[in-house]
Structure 1
């Protein structure tokens, strides 16, 4: 029983370590601005309150690639 429990805990720690590299949330700039890739072409900085509206029409949070 202890071996099984140790394996599960070890696997959970591995998963958490892998999850730690994922960025969660909006990467805000000074002044509460968030970078949004607008129409897949140009990075713009919008207020946090405007992010959802941009996401609704296909833009995404982050710099354009």
Structure 2
């Protein structure tokens, strides 16, 4: 099975099974993704991560 056919089959299965397929966020050079207030993904430098974690944000993209 070619890669395209395989990817199409996986995508179709995800739709049929009721799964949500979320595309990956573009990478930001030397930045860490932080979900800010549960609404918006920010890309911050390492020195800013702790401050965001202290007020309830979390590392990763918002879903």
Match of residue 51 from structure 1 = 49
Please state which structure has a larger fraction of its residues in helix. Answer: 1
CA apart distance, 1:29: 4.0
Q: CA RMSD in A?
A: 1.4
Task: Measure, in 2, the Cα distance between the counterparts of 1:62 and 1:49.
Answer: 16
TM-score (norm 1): 0.53
Who wins on radius of gyration, i.e. which is larger? 1
Gapped runs of 5+ residues in structure 1? 1-27
Task: Measure, in 2, the Cα distance between the counterparts of 1:33 and 1:49.
Answer: 10
4+ runs of 1 displaced by more than 6 Å?
A: none
Gapped runs of 5+ residues in structure 2? 1-26
TM-score (norm 2): 0.54
